[in-house]
Structure 1
Amino acid sequence: GMVPYNELNVANPVSFALQLVHQNWIAGLLSVGALAGMTTMMISMIYGSSRLVYATGRDGLLPRLLGQLEGPHRSPKNALIVVTIFIALLGGFVPLDQLTNLVNMGTLFAFGLISLGVIPLRRRTDIPGNGFKVPGYPVIPIISVIACVYLISTLSLETWIGSAIWFAIGLIIYFSYGMQHSKLAE
């Protein structure tokens, strides 16, 4: 209610609104908080992605150098370095709104696949405890898949095109390197 809604189509709407009503110190404080939140998100993405790259390298789908653990803490140092450089480059050269949309697409796609994967895991007899348990089976996994598909469908065409390019790059890496070097191929 502080500012007409049609003036809030900016990356920082709360801070922007506070600046328009001359509350600059609060706007600055919110901006610092947003910066801290984005930094935390970047660090979380680096650690999470490095584990994914490590596991993929360990399985031979990426160079095995990325699948090695090093040091006293047994951390995936090589994967951390590669992912950190990659995320820093993306953060420096891709606009934040486009990067956010790509992350949203990837996350929703992954959650949808995981939710879908829960359904056959329930019937697996080789998993201790008579399969993978999830509350509200199979309703919750199905609702989760539907919600992810709906949210993906609301993303912009630009996000769909960018995601298609990233998925194509992933498929090229898989078919040109991963298939021949994977542990499964051995």
Structure 2
Amino acid sequence: MLNDPAQPGRPGATIRPASPADLPAIARLCAAHAAFERADPVPEDLATRLAPALFSPHPRAWCLVVDHAGELTGYATYSREFSTWQGADHVHLDCLFVTEPHRRAGWGRALLDAVQDAAASAHGITHLQWQTPDWNTDAIRFYRRTGARALPKVRFSLPAGAGRRGETESRAMTP
């Protein structure tokens, strides 16, 4: 699985678990991924923020990277989540990204396969879930070719905490 010389791409490239030394490169990949998806820029201190989530004694998430002779050219991050309807855990694939020069060489599929393998072998989980922007037709085609099926959902985002209460209080005070 992870260091298999038969993996796609060029000789010397492997998929491996990320290490703390990879954090600056992972943050750069995340920034490129966010720009590609037309999202807000990542925080400048992203590498610092990711460190405890990925490398604490009880990590919240895991990261696999495509390492080509010391240059990281792709990554996948995932976490363990719970489905009330299934009464079971699943892996949420948060990010899967390969830089443009390395796309269409099989690295996206290799990363997805590696996440599936890690979910099953390291976490005992048999199901993955994720989302992609509806305009990203290349990703949608790619995921369908892997055998994944799209679910009809709309993803929402809502601030939590003090900012939300302030908005509610403002509306309540408006005549």
Q: TM-score under structure 2 normalisation?
A: 0.30
* Pair member with larger Rg: 1
TM normalised by structure 1 equals: 0.29
More helix by share: 1
